[in-house]
């Protein structure tokens, strides 16, 4: 870890309390039973090790998609994400999408990002090759689906910063959006992960 990263890790609990108290980066959105126009299971992702996987393999599990960065005040959420991943093993999958879209807080290459996450946070959930997650011509297809009402059925909220979170149910319906200051271990996220899906 760099000195900057150590300082940010130390200040993370304060950042979370202040941003939640101020209502900054704390938006939570919930699906009102709208169905997707296209299936996210038709999409694939290329992991940072070069392997391509279909999202179809996650059918039957909740799926949390998070845009990540190594030099952000919220970077310590890697630890919380890993804890959530371990707690709900077999029921929840998490995929991280490292992105350099917010103040260039992810400048590393795929190998450096993977090493940073493993060494500092013990991350074992999959990380995608460094991507663009904000709306643009280069936006990752998964994030185009997540932020397009014409695809997911209801949501147009793009990530507001690093560590924005999108939760899908066991049938591939987008059920929640959580802003960065909503911790992966918050009651809101845990409750959504534990919720039963109506088929």
- Which residues are known to be catalytic? 72
CA 150-47-151 angle, to 5 degrees, is: 5
List the structure tokens of 56.
Answer: 């179809």
Q: Which helix (H) or strand (E) holds 64?
A: strand 62-68
List the structure tokens of 156.
Answer: 């147009």
Burial of 36 by CB count in 10 Å (0-12 exposed, 13-18 middle, 19+ buried)? buried
List the structure tokens of 52.
Answer: 């391509």
Distance in angstroms (rounded) separating the CA atoms of residues 55 and 143: 13
Instruction: Please name the residues in contact with 120: beta carbons below 8 A apart, sequence gap of 6 or more.
Output: 1, 5, 78
b/e code 127-160 from CB counts within 10 Å (16+ = b): bbbbbbbbeeeebbebbbbbbbeebbbbbeebbb
């Amino acid at each position: 870890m760099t000195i900057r990263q150590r300082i940010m890790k130390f200040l993370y609990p304060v950042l979370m309390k202040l941003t939640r108290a101020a209502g900054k980066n704390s938006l939570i959105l919930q699906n009102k039973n709208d169905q997707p126009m296209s299936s996210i299971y038709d999409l694939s992702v290329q992991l940072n090790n070069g392997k391509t996987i279909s999202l179809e393999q996650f059918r039957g599990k909740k799926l949390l998609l998070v845009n990540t960065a190594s030099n952000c005040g919220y970077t310590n959420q890697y630890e919380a994400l890993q804890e959530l991943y371990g707690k709900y093993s077999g029921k929840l999958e998490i995929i991280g999408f490292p992105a350099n879209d917010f103040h260039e807080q992810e400048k590393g290459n795929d190998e450096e990002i993977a090493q940073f996450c493993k060494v500092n946070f013990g991350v074992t959930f999959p990380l995608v090759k460094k991507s663009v997650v904000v709306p643009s011509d280069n936006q990752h297809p998964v994030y185009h689906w997540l932020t397009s009402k014409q695809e997911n059925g209801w949501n147009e909220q793009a990530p507001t910063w690093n560590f924005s979170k999108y939760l899908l149910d066991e049938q591939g319906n987008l059920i929640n959006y959580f802003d960065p200051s909503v911790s992966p271990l918050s009651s809101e996220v845990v409750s959504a992960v534990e919720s039963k899906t109506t088929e």
